[in-house]
Structure 1
Amino acid sequence: MNRVRLIIFNAALGPLDYRVPDGMTVEPGSVVVAPLGPRQIVGIVWEEDRLPAQSVPDAKLRPLLGVLPVPPLRPQLRRLIEWTAEYYCAPMAAVARMVLSSGGALKGPSTVTEYRLSGGMPERMTPRREQAIAALEGEQATMRELAGMADVSEAVLRGLLQQGVLEPVQVDCDRPYPRASASFAPPDLSADQQGVADRFIAAMEEDRFAPFLLDGVTGSGKTETYFEAVAHALDHGRQVLVLLPEIALTEAFLRRFEERFGVAPIVWHSAQKSTERRRAWRAIAAGDAQVVVGARSALFLPYARLGLIVVDEAHEISFKQDDGVRYNARDVAVMRARFEKIVVVLASATPALESLQMAESGIYTRLVLPGRYGGATLPSIATVNLTEEKPERGRWLAPTLVKALFARMERGEQSLLFLNRRGYAPLTLCRHCGYRFKCPNCSAWLVEHRLSQRLACHHCGHETKPPPACPDCGEGDCMVACGPGVERIADEVAEILPDARVVVATSDTLNTPEKAAEFVAQAEAGEIDVIVGTQLVTKGFHFPELTLVGVVDADLSLEGGDLRAAERTYQQVAQVAGRAGRGAKPGEVLIQTRHPDAPVIAALAAGDRDAFYSAETEARRHAGAPPFGRWAAIIISSEDENEAREAANRIGATRPSLPDVAILGPAPAPLSLLRGRYRYRLLMNARRSAEVQQVIRDWLGALNFPQGVRVSVDIDPYSFV
């Protein structure tokens, strides 16, 4: 091969051809270094007939500079990159970059210097040194990572190093991981569980693509069931990928995995240290990593011998990425399994409507676990009509729910209050002039967080201290919190039950796997009486003493322009209801609502999932919405409002006229200003037969926009803001 075509990580340039120097050996999938102008770039060798490129004479080709010491990307992964780029209208370079997400892993075997506390003390203690020593107990990492953990400068740590308080440690970056054992602690499965596990294993033995929808009620033991498929993969030297929707779930899952297989699996998520990601990437590429548990990005790692993919809580919308390459990890996982010719398991107690429809049409095999494991029963569910039974003035919990909380406290049982709204209050205003505290970068109100004493935007991360006086009228001590967040509900519980041990569980308070593990340990030890949480607590947690779930505002997620609002509400409330009564004691769920007759609320109260899904399916079919039609969003943004509007109008004016495609907009996005950029949206609704991606490529490809304008495409959107 004297001439090769590369995908380079510059989407504006597309594929480029290079010459292979004498003595250098490359093949499709090789990761190479190539010159680009005065720079050196990383590229991936690709099959020439699969990528168009400009015709350049051989004599003008520049030579490759080197081949990086990593295995070539396998054909199955290359086909996945192509499919993802094609389906989601993304540059191939952007998708390929996710595969090579650990730059350090590409450099080959090496050691790294990490640091840890030596046990000594500095000659002179300062507040920052004291803070660092307290924070770094038991930690070992690079200087930069330790500085981040301790929230101090690297200069503070270098001072501790000079005084012997920190000591260097040479670490082999590629040291092997402990080996998991399929026979370490085999479980005692029920007949239903064993039957499902046998179906998984039979399909794995056939070495074919086999997508399964594992549909089991909360507490039915879905995890133990697919662990048997994991054990089969381990016995046959195949790698396993388990995708989880939240990092906060990782620690609890790791413990369950270690109890079953003797060691923890390999973890992959954005909060990891760079050295850990490097080690994991190389072990995965070499085939030495047995089981990987990760967030959605783990899907694009270069597995050498992948034999099974599991997507746990497969209905979760956090599997959909909302920036960069806007892919849905649930759907891409199915496609990866198809290219690899392996089994994929989508596990959920509340499957997505699209997944159920795929099972209905025979594309997925649906396996059902209808009952809870070990004789536990599903909780009783009742609604509390807030139009008839109003909470006391200034409070948000109705008397029926308050009475149930008292009863649990008296019996020494745990309660969970669910409200999918972080912070203390969603809106803060001045009682004197009515001024509302708004984000300077987004068209959103600042949310008050009293625990951390800040006003925060949940869209861009902007934070500010609550001012002593109104910025508009100058009146002091004037701030009024409007509406409840979880912190406000926690305060209300503390007033009602002053002896209760209350914990707020959100992505703010459980923002690392370690904090999540500490929370789980406290709950399991009976050190918490009432948990007040957001959607983070609706899945994955198993607390045997938790017998009451109160949904503070079931109508909240039905508001706004979310086209999947009913399905999302059903899933969230059904999942959080499933936290109750998972042990020997019966559970109770109370749903506070102003609309008890709404179909989704009525279905939840009746425990009639089939009726809800049937009604929602017919509504989607009538509207031509997924899974019976196609959606695609086009989002235009710019820091200049006029520029964004003009670009949106140009796109709208050139829209294609097709019989099977309807295009709505352009219109200002509901969140019209986000992170300092003005935003407009168009929404396409098409029949299943329409080639939506090709329509979009032809439509947008004919237009040019100013440099400050970004135009992004969201295929199968989940966010409509």
Structure 2
Amino acid sequence: MRIAKILLPVAKLFPLDYLIPEDLELNIGDLVVVPFRNKELTGIVWELVSNSEAKKIKTIRAKVPLNLNITSEVLELIKWMSSYYMSELGSIAKLVLPMDIAEKPIKVKEQKVNNNFVLPDLLEEQKQAVTILNESNKPTLVKGVTGSGKTEIYFHLIADYLAKGKQVLVMLPEIALSTQIINRFIERFGFEPIIWNSSVTKAHKKMILRGILSDKVKVVIGARSSLFLPFKNLGLIVIDEEHDDSYKQDDGILYNARDTAIVRGTFDKAQIVLCSATPSIETIHNIEIGKYQLVTLVNRYKNVALPNIEIIDMTKEKLSKNSYLSKLLIEAIKGNLDNKKQVLLFLNRRGYAPLMLCKACGHRLTCKFCSSWMVVHKATKKLECHHCGYQSKIFSSCPECLEDETLTICGPGIERIEEEAKALFPESKIAVISKDHAKSPEKIAQLLHQMENLEIDILIGTQIITKGYHFPNLTLVGVIDADLGSNNADLRASERTFQLLHQVGGRAGRGDSKGVVYLQSYYPDNTIFSYVKAGDEDSFFANELEIRKSADMPPFSKTASVILSGSSEAKILEIARDMVRIAPKANVKILGPASSLMSKLAGKYRYRILIIADKKFNLQKYLKFWLSLIKIPSFCHLKIDIDPKSFY
């Protein structure tokens, strides 16, 4: 009896046994069509065996046309992810095969690669970087100041790999970043790269998968999930803006796409290039211990000067009611506009105001399903929870004390900054970019095009605007609240704040005119600002690493979070306490249980247990044994987050 264990792209499923028809020859990795429940699915031949313990075994229907298969390198990646992130094989397979590709034949458009493309000449510093990269046999970080031409460097590498007939993957934290890169790519190479993200239609994704499996697709630019594409001949993986938190997936399978891409590169024997002006602490540490190599660019392209950084002490400002722009910033904006230059105002807070409260009883309007405040959105005339999406009308009276006309809004969101900017500069063309205002890549592309064509004078944006955009006529950046995020208890608060301020400041002065960045702060003596002002990331990283080392926190230790959630807070807390009570004795530190920073999310109360261990300790093995000691009731949802990036 010939049996194949078939891995199906079905969550929480392990390989299932199927009979192999007599006339069918199979190899591990082949794609086959099998019956599953009341439908047919495409699965991966995971293992070939001679017997089965299953009582009833169904038969494989057929091979997928064109003998398409998954390489041994991708199979190794699936195994590694399942083991490292403690997820079922079927859940990982769903990332590799997100939809069925065994239906009627699909016309695959081949990328016509013309190796006669001409790339612009590099500066001497960039040439040296390319030489080092060509000789490197380990993951390499290209660390350069904002505007130093990191993209041009990896374009030269792409050219080399295309000449060798290899496939290339360029990963971006936000696919919104792809617009400018795609345009530059087409200029350089004469063909359009394939884009892979959540907005691509199902039919187009099927065509892309077929093209990758048949080696007709050579270059893909994509977000997190692109790293699971079943490349047959992968030669180069570029991880742009490698420091960005968007590479960490915080729902479904909890994984870090940057780290997983590096593992994939190891299996595929592909070159790994990481790029960032503000690398992650983990990457800096990996360079220090010799695991990664470093290439540094200290000059902006064409030797354009870095912007000046000015700190505005908001404790000395006398702002009028409902005003959030300091007099100094307003005057600077006026001067910039008079010189026909563009302005970027940055506030990492969506909506009109982050809070509505009652002046009579002090009640704060919170989400009925979460422990978060309801954000005021004036444009839609609604209150919205930015965590679960719940919306309600804007109340005229307090829902707690029922008093009329006592509700007031507190603090600014970008809609409020837009309102103030329009009042101050009525003749200026003002636009807003955020998840609310630019909900599709097409809308983002439209705004970027308007910015590039000087159709926008003042652009107001959230974090989405900090990521690698190039606007040569933008010479002034105003950060409305530079304190936002730096004073919370998160391990990575300082790192994130430094990266964010450095990146947003890097949008200024990338053309012929020098830029200036204004940081508005109520804590101007914050040491982070001194590092940002001096452009001294090396000292910042050294100080931050010393703090982490003394606290025995990553990257000097391993961490994992056990997250328990359910509709009964008392029962969830009881289970969490029971878990800690029976935790096996080992060389680990267990903290908690403690209420998550977001203690209630989508109607579920949440508690966390944090486990800290030595770098060499097998944390996954320990967690598996620990979980085997307790039965988790069905009303309690348990998630394990290996290498957590946040503790919300």
TM (norm. structure 2) is 0.95
Q: Pick closer, same or farther for the CA change 1:407–1:190 going to 2, 3 Å.
A: same
Aligned match for 2:258, one of 330, 335, 352: 330
SS in 1 for 2:59: coil
- Percent identity, aligned pairs only? 41
Q: Does 2:337 match 1:414?
A: no
Aligned match for 2:71, one of 74, 78, 92: 74
C-alpha distance in structure 2 between counterparts of 1:410 and 1:276, whole Å: 47
Q: Which amino acid aligns with 2:95?
A: M
| 8 A contact 1:635–1:713 mirrored in 2 | yes
| 8 A contact 1:417–1:552 mirrored in 2 | yes
Aligned match for 2:127, one of 171, 191, 194: 194
C-alpha distance in structure 2 between counterparts of 1:29 and 1:108, whole Å: 21
SS in 2 for 1:27: coil
Q: Which amino acid aligns with 2:343?
A: S
Q: Pick closer, same or farther for the CA change 1:28–1:324 going to 2, 3 Å.
A: same
Q: Does 2:422 match 1:494?
A: yes
Q: Pick closer, same or farther for the CA change 1:37–1:489 going to 2, 3 Å.
A: closer
> 1:443-472, CA deviations, whole angstroms, 9 ceiling, x for partnerless residues?
111111112322111111112232344434
Q: 2:146 — aligned with what?
A: 218
Q: 1:86 — aligned with what?
A: 83
Q: 1:343 — aligned with what?
A: 271
Q: 1:27 — aligned with what?
A: 27
| 8 A contact 1:490–1:502 mirrored in 2 | yes
Shift of 1:596: 2.4
Q: Does 2:127 match 1:231?
A: no
- After TM superposition, the structure 1 stretch with the greater mean CA deviation from structure 2, 515-524 or 490-499, is 490-499
Q: 2:109 — aligned with what?
A: 176
| 8 A contact 2:142–2:150 mirrored in 1 | yes
Q: 2:59 — aligned with what?
A: 63
Q: 1:676 — aligned with what?
A: 603
Shift of 1:41: 4.9
Shift of 1:646: 2.7
Q: 1:704 — aligned with what?
A: 631
Q: 2:394 — aligned with what?
A: 466
| 8 A contact 1:308–1:343 mirrored in 2 | yes
Aligned match for 2:583, one of 625, 640, 655: 655
C-alpha distance in structure 1 between counterparts of 2:38 and 2:300, whole Å: 63
* Structure 1 residues 134-149: aligned runs within 5 Å: none
What value does the CA root-mean-square deviation take over the aligned residues? Answer: 2.1
SS in 2 for 1:409: helix
C-alpha distance in structure 2 between counterparts of 1:644 and 1:273, whole Å: 40
Q: Which amino acid aligns with 1:377?
A: A
TM (norm. structure 1) is 0.86
Q: 2:17 — aligned with what?
A: 17
Q: Which amino acid aligns with 1:72?
A: N
- After TM superposition, the structure 1 stretch with the greater mean CA deviation from structure 2, 383-392 or 213-222, is 383-392
C-alpha distance in structure 2 between counterparts of 1:552 and 1:10, whole Å: 46
C-alpha distance in structure 1 between counterparts of 2:85 and 2:591, whole Å: 20
Q: 2:593 — aligned with what?
A: 666
> 1:222-269, CA deviations, whole angstroms, 9 ceiling, x for partnerless residues?
001100111111111111101111122122221111111112210000
Q: 2:103 — aligned with what?
A: 107
| 8 A contact 2:9–2:98 mirrored in 1 | no
> 1:630-678, CA deviations, whole angstroms, 9 ceiling, x for partnerless residues?
111110111333332232222222122222x101011221211111211
> Which ranges of structure 2 fall in alignment gaps of 5 or more residues?
none
C-alpha distance in structure 2 between counterparts of 1:391 and 1:632, whole Å: 45
Q: 1:588 — aligned with what?
A: 516
Q: Which amino acid aligns with 1:198?
A: T
Q: Number of residue pairs matched?
A: 647
| 8 A contact 2:28–2:48 mirrored in 1 | no
* Structure 1 residues 154-303: aligned runs within 5 Å: 174-203=107-136, 210-303=138-231
Shift of 1:60: 5.8
Q: Which amino acid aligns with 2:5?
A: R
C-alpha distance in structure 2 between counterparts of 1:492 and 1:525, whole Å: 24
SS in 2 for 1:558: coil
Q: Pick closer, same or farther for the CA change 1:41–1:283 going to 2, 3 Å.
A: closer
| 8 A contact 2:10–2:93 mirrored in 1 | no
C-alpha distance in structure 2 between counterparts of 1:451 and 1:248, whole Å: 23
C-alpha distance in structure 1 between counterparts of 2:38 and 2:419, whole Å: 60
| 8 A contact 1:19–1:58 mirrored in 2 | no
> Which ranges of structure 1 fall in alignment gaps of 5 or more residues?
111-173, 204-208
C-alpha distance in structure 1 between counterparts of 2:533 and 2:318, whole Å: 19
| 8 A contact 2:9–2:97 mirrored in 1 | no
Q: Pick closer, same or farther for the CA change 1:10–1:522 going to 2, 3 Å.
A: closer
- After TM superposition, the structure 1 stretch with the greater mean CA deviation from structure 2, 685-694 or 700-709, is 700-709
Q: 1:558 — aligned with what?
A: 486
SS in 2 for 1:18: strand
| 8 A contact 2:286–2:292 mirrored in 1 | yes
Shift of 1:564: 0.3
| 8 A contact 1:426–1:446 mirrored in 2 | yes
C-alpha distance in structure 1 between counterparts of 2:53 and 2:337, whole Å: 80
Aligned match for 2:281, one of 339, 349, 353: 353
> 1:418-458, CA deviations, whole angstroms, 9 ceiling, x for partnerless residues?
11111111101234444322211111111111123221111
- After TM superposition, the structure 1 stretch with the greater mean CA deviation from structure 2, 471-480 or 609-618, is 471-480
| 8 A contact 1:19–1:64 mirrored in 2 | yes
Q: Does 2:629 match 1:716?
A: no
| 8 A contact 2:111–2:216 mirrored in 1 | no
- After TM superposition, the structure 1 stretch with the greater mean CA deviation from structure 2, 466-475 or 618-627, is 466-475
Q: Pick closer, same or farther for the CA change 1:58–1:688 going to 2, 3 Å.
A: closer
C-alpha distance in structure 1 between counterparts of 2:544 and 2:188, whole Å: 39
Q: Pick closer, same or farther for the CA change 1:478–1:255 going to 2, 3 Å.
A: farther
SS in 2 for 1:387: helix
Q: Which amino acid aligns with 1:293?
A: I
| 8 A contact 1:248–1:510 mirrored in 2 | no
C-alpha distance in structure 1 between counterparts of 2:422 and 2:8, whole Å: 57
| 8 A contact 1:313–1:347 mirrored in 2 | yes
* Structure 1 residues 567-582: aligned runs within 5 Å: 567-582=495-510
> 1:318-344, CA deviations, whole angstroms, 9 ceiling, x for partnerless residues?
000001111111111111110011101
| 8 A contact 1:631–1:683 mirrored in 2 | yes
Q: Which amino acid aligns with 2:421?
A: V
Q: Pick closer, same or farther for the CA change 1:477–1:260 going to 2, 3 Å.
A: farther
Q: Pick closer, same or farther for the CA change 1:594–1:682 going to 2, 3 Å.
A: same
C-alpha distance in structure 2 between counterparts of 1:108 and 1:656, whole Å: 53
SS in 1 for 2:162: helix
C-alpha distance in structure 2 between counterparts of 1:61 and 1:584, whole Å: 70
Q: Pick closer, same or farther for the CA change 1:314–1:182 going to 2, 3 Å.
A: farther
Shift of 1:575: 0.2
C-alpha distance in structure 2 between counterparts of 1:60 and 1:468, whole Å: 64
| 8 A contact 2:166–2:218 mirrored in 1 | yes
Q: Pick closer, same or farther for the CA change 1:502–1:36 going to 2, 3 Å.
A: closer
Q: Pick closer, same or farther for the CA change 1:10–1:528 going to 2, 3 Å.
A: closer
| 8 A contact 1:216–1:348 mirrored in 2 | yes
- After TM superposition, the structure 1 stretch with the greater mean CA deviation from structure 2, 79-88 or 62-71, is 62-71
SS in 2 for 1:298: helix
| 8 A contact 1:421–1:486 mirrored in 2 | yes
Aligned match for 2:574, one of 630, 635, 646: 646
Q: Pick closer, same or farther for the CA change 1:475–1:220 going to 2, 3 Å.
A: same
SS in 1 for 2:419: helix
Shift of 1:39: 5.9
